[in-house]
Structure 1
Amino acid sequence: MALGAPPDAVNLGLGEPGWPLPTGQAVRPDEGSVDLSYGPNTSDPALVDAIAGYAQARGADTVGPDGVMVTAGSQAALFALFQAYAEPGSAVLAPDPGFVAYPTLARLCGATPVGYPLGPDGDLDADALLAALCEHGHTSLVVLNHPANPTGGLTSSGALERVAEACAERDVLLVSDEVYAELWVDEPPASLRDVTDVGVVLGSMSKAFGAPGLRIGWATGDPEVLAPARLVHNAMTTAPSRLSQRAALALLEAAGEVLPAAREQLRLRWDAVARLAPCANGHRFLGDGPQKARSRSAGRVGFYLWLPLPEGIDPDGTEAFALRLRDEGRVTTIPGTAFGARGSGFLRVSLGGPVEDLEEGLRRLAPWWKA
């Protein structure tokens, strides 16, 4: 979508934090010599311990260092888990609309991606997922994503418990992608670890820690479950960059400073939406049509606005409208169809960039929904 955009277009499409890191000494790697050896396949023991401690602080009491797999971003964790568990000819259940990598990773394994529908507000619909699980008897892997990309949807502890029990009964690996879990304003969202020790939970430096370029992520779970995925990851990269691991350790050690600062930046962005696009907080963006955007009054999480098209625009023209908005309105968004067939009729607007860009982008969007 960014290729060919006007030079002065405001990009509200990229899902990347745009706020600066705190400048305190606590978040800077120590001075001194830099070790550029390969390092252990399991990564720096200090970083592994820090991630285990971080997971325990988030409720994963049973996670120890042997239950942490450090990877070259959460994307590498997904790839390794899919390669280890997504059997050729099996079904892989993933949200639709959902993160674009899930179906691609399934196909790379010879598996069939099956999109399960979400609730009307983008939240996990346990009934719909369980129906898909029953329909596809040969299912090897189920993926959850909450807070969700692109919808910003959440899930309840009860829904997580039902899905976890069903996957355990069928011996299906459950992967809970929670890379946006620390990006909340009002209250923290539910985690798979609130209800069960089974399955794998993903985390990352890329979102709330504001450091996507480090390419450091992790998976936590039963060491025996992680073992085959470790073999895949070792064959992929040997180990993540030593420099990135060092920076990630500094950020984790400064989590008490970094995460509250990220949430304050997030609050500024949702406040901008409330100020410049008040109808997006529970109703149609700057309009009164029958479709509704996800309500944020009960909890602002993540940095995506899942925006219905203006009234009168055919959902089949989602991509064409996004291109018009880019070329004529000079705002880049992502058409919902990029995230699955059920994304038709929506645009994903990223709130993650600089606040000034977001405010200008929202002003440019407004006339298209008032017309």
Structure 2
Amino acid sequence: MSTATRVTSLSPSLIRAMSVGAPPEAIDLGLGVPGWALPEPARRALEECAAREEPLGYGPIGGIPELVSAIGDYHLLGDVTSVHPVHQCHVPGDVADQVMVTAGSQAALTALFLAHVSPGQRVLVPDPGFPAYSTLARLAGGVPVPYALGPRGDLDTQTFLALLEGDVGLAVINHPGNPTGGGASLEALAAVASACRAAGAVLVSDEVYRDVHLGPRPASLRDVSTSGVVVSSVSKGWAAPGLRVGWAVGDPALLEPARLVHNAMTTSAARPSQLAATALLRNSAEVLRQTRRELIQRWSIAQTGPVAVRPVAAPAGGFYAWIPVPEWAVGDTLGFCRRVRDEGHVIVVPGTAFGAAGEGFVRVSCGGDPRLLAQGLQRMAPFWEVP
């Protein structure tokens, strides 16, 4: 398959497409972004950057040392509250080699796919799962192979391992997952990591929602294995999607070719954004406490809203409610969501945007304005109660 064919075979994300043509007064419960203010440490860092009377240079390409160090502490030491001071500019080589700073986690994923997927290779992706995984597999010339999740969207090792055969170039796990909020146990992560290592497949663990949780902090691939690559960003847990700062952490041999791809794509993450991201990570204890307070407020609204659209269960992480459609709408989830949008004036995302296994569900983002969330759920409820 040629590059031109791969590109023209791509299609726009149904997540964003649901907003196209929506009534002006529609409440958007579709896009998954934090709806509270950018945390103060990031605002202060951006102000300080703007106040400096000096040239504003590139990234740098490898990331400012302070940010690389903070990411290393977060993932390699497992401590979000103890990072190197801002004035420390030296980062040990073994840490720097394991950290790749990128322009958002999406850029990290893109660089990893393009670096490690060869034309014709199979790529394991969760179903339901974030649609970009399949898109990136095709963009790299690979063949996305969906694997089913457990009943609550949890990582099911049996179904995953059953597909880990043949020429698998890369496999993706996402926990807590988008859209289901499902998690992964330490045992499941260890089993998947061991199997991918034995099969020679690059394992990518997307953990961008790990610090958006109600209960215990979800497990990380780094808790059980040093193989594979963990991807994350400041977009969700640190409530700063507009900074476009993400990262990948893992085996330097896996990151080295991905760095070249990322540098060719976008040179580096913007320097002011890197400074702000460093401030967020340095103040993780404070910032993540605020994130959990915001999440609890919104989830309380969802759990006490109209019975017909209450979440079936609290997620392991993330701010999405994965809600079954009424029985009469199963088989036409997209049409049902369009009716909710056009007649009820609420934007939600059909489960089919996330794969075939999403039929019969809608994803509702609980991350936005709490008042609008409450209003949106009230508007949605009648569509579940009557045909």
Q: Quick check: TM above 0.5?
A: yes
Q: Distance in 2 between matches of 1:115 and 1:25?
A: 38
Q: Contact 1:21–1:258 (CA<8 Å) still a contact in 2? A: no
Letter in 1 for 2:324: P
Task: Say yes or no: does 1:42 pair with 2:42.
Answer: no
Deviation at 1:58, TM superposition (A): 2.6
- Superimposed CA distance per residue, residues 155-189 of structure 1 (whole angstroms, 9 cap, x where no aligned partner): 11111111111001011100000000000122101
Q: Contact 2:176–2:316 (CA<8 Å) still a contact in 1? A: no
Q: Which runs of 5+ in 2 are unaligned?
A: 1-17, 81-91
Moved more, 49-58 or 115-124: 49-58
Moved more, 232-241 or 140-149: 232-241
Q: Which runs of 5+ in 1 are unaligned?
A: 287-292
Which residue of structure 2 lines up, in the alignment, with residue 285 of structure 1? 309
Q: Distance in 2 between matches of 1:271 and 1:250?
A: 30
Deviation at 1:26, TM superposition (A): 8.2
Task: Say yes or no: does 1:306 pair with 2:322.
Answer: yes
Q: Contact 1:27–1:251 (CA<8 Å) still a contact in 2? A: no
Of 33, 41, 53, the residue aligned with 1:16 is 33
- Superimposed CA distance per residue, residues 289-344 of structure 1 (whole angstroms, 9 cap, x where no aligned partner): xxxx6422xx652100111101222x221110000000111110001111111111
The residue correspondences of 1:194-205 to structure 2 (distance < 5 A) are: 194-205=223-234
- Superimposed CA distance per residue, residues 238-275 of structure 1 (whole angstroms, 9 cap, x where no aligned partner): 11111111111121122121111011100111111111
Which residue of structure 2 lines up, in the alignment, with residue 332 of structure 1? 347
Q: Contact 1:72–1:215 (CA<8 Å) still a contact in 2? A: yes
Deviation at 1:57, TM superposition (A): 4.3
Which residue of structure 2 lines up, in the alignment, with residue 92 of structure 1? 123
Letter in 2 for 1:32: R
Which residue of structure 2 lines up, in the alignment, with residue 369 of structure 1? 384
The residue correspondences of 1:232-271 to structure 2 (distance < 5 A) are: 232-271=261-300
Which residue of structure 2 lines up, in the alignment, with residue 350 of structure 1? 365
Letter in 1 for 2:370: V
Which residue of structure 2 lines up, in the alignment, with residue 187 of structure 1? 216
Q: Partner of 2:362: helix, strand, or coil?
A: strand
Letter in 1 for 2:210: A
Q: Distance in 1 between matches of 2:178 and 2:42?
A: 32
Letter in 2 for 1:308: P
Q: Partner of 2:62: helix, strand, or coil?
A: coil
The residue correspondences of 1:207-218 to structure 2 (distance < 5 A) are: 207-218=236-247
Which residue of structure 2 lines up, in the alignment, with residue 130 of structure 1? 161
Aligned-pair identity in percent equals 52
Deviation at 1:352, TM superposition (A): 0.8
Deviation at 1:3, TM superposition (A): 1.2
- Superimposed CA distance per residue, residues 60-108 of structure 1 (whole angstroms, 9 cap, x where no aligned partner): 9x97222100001000100100011011111000101110100110111
Q: Distance in 1 between matches of 2:180 and 2:298?
A: 16
Q: Distance in 2 between matches of 1:24 and 1:228?
A: 33
Q: Contact 2:22–2:342 (CA<8 Å) still a contact in 1? A: yes
Query: Structure 1-normalised TM-score?
Result: 0.91
For residues 115 and 257 of structure 1, do their structure 2 counterparts lie closer, same or farther at Cα, with a shift above 3 Å needed?
A: same
Deviation at 1:370, TM superposition (A): 2.4
Q: Contact 2:100–2:259 (CA<8 Å) still a contact in 1? A: yes
Aligned residue pairs total 355
Letter in 2 for 1:307: I
Q: Distance in 1 between matches of 2:19 and 2:223?
A: 39
The alignment's C-alpha RMSD in Å is 2.0
Q: Contact 2:183–2:316 (CA<8 Å) still a contact in 1? A: no
Q: Partner of 1:140: helix, strand, or coil?
A: strand
Task: Say yes or no: does 1:73 pair with 2:91.
Answer: no
Which residue of structure 1 lines up, in the alignment, with residue 336 of structure 2? 321
Q: Contact 1:121–1:294 (CA<8 Å) still a contact in 2? A: no
Which residue of structure 1 lines up, in the alignment, with residue 74 of structure 2? 54
Which residue of structure 1 lines up, in the alignment, with residue 22 of structure 2? 5
